[in-house]
Amino acid sequence: MTRDGDHVYLHPSSVNHCVAHYTSPYLVYLEKVKTSRVFIHGCSLVPALTLLLFSGCGLKIQQYGETSVIALEDGWIKFAVDSQEVAELLQMIRSEFMALLKEKIEDPSLNLLTHEKGSLIITTIKQLVTEE
């Protein structure tokens, strides 16, 4: 289902078309085409943490009683986390990563592995997404 609530189907030529079990409920796709149905092409599974860290949406922290929730921008996708502290740390890592990317775009010769914060941010994100 898309953000707009439209039902979509994986195109038969998609590598994910015959997958019996998806390890994540989230897919990103390159193209959406309507023929006999609405099909998506060029799709990849995206783990929840990867979606949180790399999506183009802003993150908002919300509190529902004792449950801390990180919502993507408009609240369409929400993730419960262990604590407010975890939510704030994820938001901070993402913010630092986005600032690092902005620096890299402004100065393409910037070496992120020798950058003051770059190596730490990249190492932290690598550990988070490979342990998920």
* Domain of 104, in residue numbers: 48-131
Domain count, the chain: 2
pTM higher than 0.85 for the full model?
no
* Whole-number pLDDT of residue 106: 96
Strands of 78-81's sheet, edge to edge? Answer: 59-64, 67-72, 78-81
- Please say if the pLDDT value at position 131 is more than 80: no
pLDDT mean over 93-116 = 92
Pick 76 or 85 by higher pLDDT: 85
Other CB atoms within a 10 A radius of the CB of residue 29 amount to 17
CA–CA separation, 121 vs 112, rounded Å? Answer: 9
Q: What is the pLDDT of residue 132?
A: 58
- Per the prediction, the chain carries an average pLDDT of 87
Say what the pLDDT of residue 74 is.
Answer: 75
Predicted confidence at residue 121, as pLDDT, reads: 92
Q: How far is CA 51 from CA 72, 108, 109, in A?
A: 9, 25, 27
Domain-located, residue 90: yes
3: in domain: no
Tell me what the mean pLDDT of segment 121-130 comes to: 89
Q: pLDDT tens-digit profile of 19-76?
A: 888 888 888 888 888 888 889 888 888 888 888 888 888 889 988 888 899 998 777 8
Whether residue 27 is found in the same domain as residue 73: no
Task: Using pLDDT thresholds of 50, 70 and 90, give the confidence band for residue 104.
Answer: very high
Do 25 and 70 lie in a common domain?
Answer: no
> Is residue 35 located within the same domain as residue 79?
no
